[in-house]
């Protein structure tokens, strides 16, 4: 057994009684679990199924968790989920709905036979052992810059297929004109066009390309945000669904198309310089997010009873042979003890765009 495993099992041994207490409504959550230094990603990364509860994003995109997640089916008419072994195709129902709509719109604008979906969230959200800082509350999803091929990819192909960067790596921060096409631009802008989408993250070179070439509605360009990476996939972030009080909204993007000095900064040396080290500084142990750093409700989410994968897979209509008695996610949601605004969460509700 590795040291990491040892630490994890110790943490879980200590945590589980505390979690049970949390479920029973006792307020003993402040003891061992809080004092425990186990990174929360180790705990959330081991959970295989979502909680059986009303769908609820809890906390912030980069510091939170999710109750009552639903999974997008691995295969749909206009999408395939990738890297299935990661078990990160879980999200808020609003996200799963959006991806379905987006996949259909992608086909309409010429993006192959649909979209390849990367990571959404873990079954109960939370921090991940590998990869992302965000994607913790079921409202972030990665889409490959590779269209779904007409011939469906096998499970193994979905594990092994390499990412394709949109950058010309022989140059500094430059989109490859061999790989990038006007359809790529349309795809990103389509994602930005939905009112329930809050931000779309792309590489700064891609943002610049859009700034230089986009002739459609420029008002949506402001939602497209430059960030490190994101050259072989882009990232869709949704607003907190209306009425979800436990979800912490992000500050609105600034007005304008963002093709300004905030973009120009990425083309200076500053974002790429290695941080200067203070020779006198004491070495600091890396500090990982622990359960204590997350909203308290996340401890209860971890302890809550699991929903089954079948019951929590959204859109049973897409299975090859739909069974009449398969419980729909709506049924699961409606049978939940907690009151939830199901209508609001399943239908795309326009959210007014902030003025600044």
142 is a site residue for Zn ion (CB under 5 A): yes
**Binding marks (x or -) toward Zn ion, 204..243, rule CB under 5 A?**
-------------------------------x--------
Pairing of strands 63-67, 56-60: antiparallel
The DSSP H or E segment spanning 59 is strand 56-60
The stretch near Zn ion (CB under 5 A) out of 30-38, 68-76, 139-147, 303-311 is 139-147
- Which residue number, 161 or 227, has a Cβ lying nearer to Zn ion? 227
Q: What's the rounded Cα separation, in Å, for the pair 284 and 318? A: 50
Structure tokens at 27: 């307020």
The DSSP H or E segment spanning 95 is helix 93-108
Q: Least distance (Å) from Zn ion to the CB of residue 117?
A: 11
- Which residue number, 142 or 198, has a Cβ lying nearer to Zn ion? 142
Q: What's the rounded Cα separation, in Å, for the pair 221 and 70? A: 30
- Which residue number, 172 or 228, has a Cβ lying nearer to Zn ion? 228
The stretch near Zn ion (CB under 5 A) out of 48-56, 66-74, 138-146, 318-326 is 138-146
Cross-strand pairs, 58? 65
Q: Least distance (Å) from Zn ion to the CB of residue 235?
A: 3
Cross-strand pairs, 70? 91
CB under 8 A, 24+ apart: contacts of 332-337: 332/52, 332/307, 333/54, 333/55, 333/68, 333/93, 336/52, 336/53, 336/54, 336/68
Q: Least distance (Å) from Zn ion to the CB of residue 132?
A: 5
Q: Least distance (Å) from Zn ion to the CB of residue 141?
A: 7
**C-alpha angle 97/103/108, rounded to 5°?**
130
- Which residue number, 111 or 144, has a Cβ lying nearer to Zn ion? 144
- Which residue number, 197 or 340, has a Cβ lying nearer to Zn ion? 197
Q: Least distance (Å) from Zn ion to the CB of residue 228?
A: 11
Q: Kindly determine how many residues on this chain lie close enough to bind Zn ion according to the rule CB under 5 A.
A: 2
Cross-strand pairs, 200? 224, 236
Q: Least distance (Å) from Zn ion to the CB of residue 114?
A: 19
Residue of minimal Cβ distance to Zn ion: 235
Structure tokens at 50: 């979502």
The stretch near Zn ion (CB under 5 A) out of 94-102, 134-142, 156-164, 216-224 is 134-142
The DSSP H or E segment spanning 140 is strand 140-147
Structure tokens at 140: 């972030």
Residue ranges that bind Zn ion, judged by CB under 5 A: 142, 235
């Amino acid at each position: 057994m590795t040291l990491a495993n040892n630490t994890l099992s110790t943490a879980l041994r200590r945590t589980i009684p505390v979690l049970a207490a949390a479920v029973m409504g006792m307020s003993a959550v402040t003891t061992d679990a809080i004092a425990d230094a186990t990174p929360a990603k180790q705990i959330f990364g081991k959970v295989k199924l979502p909680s059986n509860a009303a769908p609820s994003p809890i906390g912030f995109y980069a510091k939170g968790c999710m109750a009552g997640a639903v999974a997008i089916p691995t295969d749909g008419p206009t999408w395939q989920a990738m890297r299935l072994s990661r078990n990160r195709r879980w999200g808020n129902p609003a996200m799963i709905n959006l991806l379905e709509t987006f996949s259909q719109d992608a086909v309409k604008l010429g993006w192959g036979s649909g979209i390849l979906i990367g990571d959404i969230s873990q079954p109960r959200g939370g921090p991940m052992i590998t990869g992302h800082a965000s994607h913790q509350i079921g409202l972030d999803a990665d889409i490959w810059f590779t269209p779904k091929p007409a011939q469906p990819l096998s499970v193994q192909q979905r594990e092994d297929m390499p990412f394709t960067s949109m950058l010309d790596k022989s140059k500094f921060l430059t989109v490859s004109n061999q790989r990038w096409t006007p359809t790529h631009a349309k795809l990103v802008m389509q994602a930005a066009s939905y009112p329930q989408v809050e931000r779309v993250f792309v590489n700064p070179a891609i943002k610049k390309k859009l700034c230089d070439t986009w002739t459609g509605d420029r008002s949506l360009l402001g939602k497209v945000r430059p960030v490190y990476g994101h050259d072989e996939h882009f990232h869709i972030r949704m607003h907190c669904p209306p009425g979800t009080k436990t979800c912490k909204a992000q500050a609105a993007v600034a007005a304008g198309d963002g093709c300004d000095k905030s973009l120009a900064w990425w083309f200076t040396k500053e974002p790429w310089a290695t941080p200067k080290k203070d020779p006198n500084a004491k070495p600091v142990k890396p500090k990982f997010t622990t359960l204590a750093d997350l909203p308290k409700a996340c401890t209860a989410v971890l302890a809550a009873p699991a929903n089954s994968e079948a019951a929590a897979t959204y859109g049973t209509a897409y299975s090859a042979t739909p069974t009449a008695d398969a419980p729909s996610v709506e049924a699961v949601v409606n049978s939940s003890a907690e009151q939830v605004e199901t209508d609001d969460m399943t239908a795309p509700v326009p959210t007014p765009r902030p003025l600044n």
